Chains A and B, each alone.
Chain A
Amino acid sequence: MDKVQSPDTAPRQLFESSGVKALLDQLDAELIGLAPVKGRIRDIAALLLIDRLRQAQGLQSQPPSLHMSFTGNPGTGKTTVAMRMAEVLKQLGYVRKGHLVAVTRDDLVGQFIGHTAPKTREVIKKAMGGVLFIDEAYYLYRPENERDYGQESIEILLQVMENQRDDLVVILAGYKDRMETFFGSNPGMASRIAHHIDFPDYSEAELMQIAQLMLARLNYSFDDGAASTFARYVGLRRRQPHFANARSVRNALDRIRLRHATRLFGSDEALTREQLCTLQAQDILASRVFDPRPEALAAEGGSR
């Protein structure tokens, strides 16, 4: 990906020949929805290609700052995309090694004086040449506890994010309102993050697509009755509390597989491949989500 381009290549030709088109198509196929994310990756890829043409003309081309912040509700794909981002940036040639180091506050902050700096530096050293993903970044900053060492970790991160921009990409992630508070109290951090990307909740059609994709990967499929029943299930479940988008869909599919297995378990005849792969409407209808009685839905714990 580091070949010097001749200035006569058209951008569209370069788009295909450099492998960037294949990369974006793969992203489109494997990640459902997430339009703002895909848009941003497309922009970064476009900048990369134009930069190559500029270099061919002898113009300056400085790589952009790539630090990002992902905000959104649970289950909207923040961690998944961060992992893909490391691969994508490596393929685009913006990071050297493309490995991802995922940490939370506990990996960065120490328990006693003098513990935080070495801990944070170790993590940063490991992440150099790749992407550092900090989940629930707002826990780093605890203003109400003056003995908290999170601030020290933030300061080290700020320094590295500024001075070693071409060695390391930092991605912060968390819920939108709490990240906003975090950035509000750390303007230095906010100014170093070039890309604030919000992950919207998935629509019902997108959740259906995600379910189909997950099932295909596990070698299952819905029959027609099951597909429409699942669409109804998603519609009902969305309105209930604690809905975690793709994660809830994955949990639901796991429970459906359990019921499917139980249904087939008592059979006296050998099972066909067809039977082993196909999920039916009755596997879905057993869920409490379809139970019209209010006390069934309000019951603590248990499955849906």
Chain B
Amino acid sequence: MPTMNIIQAVNDALKIQMRQDDRVVVLGEDVGKFGGVFRATSGLQEEFGQERVVDTPLSEAGIIGTSIGMALYGMRPVPEIQFADFIYPAFDHIVNELAKYRYRSGGQYTCPVVIRTPYGGGIKGGHYHSQSNESYWVHTPGLKVVIPSNPYDAKGLLLSAMRQDDPVVFMEPKRVYRAAKGDVPEGDYTIEIGKAKVVREGRQVTLIAYGSMLHTAVEAAKKAEAEGIDVEVIDLRSLVPLDIDTVIGSVEKTGRCVIVQEAPKTGGFAAELIALINEKALLSLEAPVVRVTGWDTPFPYTLDLEYLPSPERVLQGLRKVVNF
């Protein structure tokens, strides 16, 4: 089995799907001849031509707006927004149009667009190349929100996303784009969207993360093990739909929970998880659920590592729930 990083896995998924389905069109800024600023679409234009792998004018609203029009006509556009921080000019198209097309047309029209976008900090990108804006999409009815943490999941989830009929925001953890390597099967396979993965079993604390923070969580779990804390780590893989059964099953078993998210604290996905745990498993809890998150500040340039949840901060959270 070949070893790939996340970029190679994404690239592989795009190639597989484009070979199978001539409705798939990749469009975005610098995705064609150059193969994308992160090289995720490298080699696609050579193989599939300029009509299916399109360098667009520099306009996120145009990329998403025209993708919607293409999807209405039966195509399967997979637009790339170069950085999640640059997606806001397309916000109206995503939130009011793409997400709602099926609903507001009474099911007459569908918009199966998969928006790929690198997100997250830790690459010295400052405010405009580091944001984790998943909460906006989670809060928008009609969108699926998928965030892989590793190459195997990235390929299988992206193939699933391109084969279903709803719009998807597919957020790629750019901090571990190249660092997260792993065995990835050649050829075709899919991973069901809406299924979390227990990446490490444990009895004492449930530790929930997704995307690049999964790696921080695993590192913290290893450190905790050295202290005798037995941690179960769950990789959510998709936020909408959320695999709430896996979360609740684990919390009922451990009675303790820490959630890691690099987005700002207030109104973040961790808050939603805590609400759900309270609704469904409050009486199983031995301690209040702890959030380890980014701060409620804009994403900083120099102090980025102080902003981001670190394994140490996660470990402190684990100790807090265990010693409650």
Chains A and B form a bound pair: no
Residues of B in contact with A (beta carbons under 8 Å apart): none
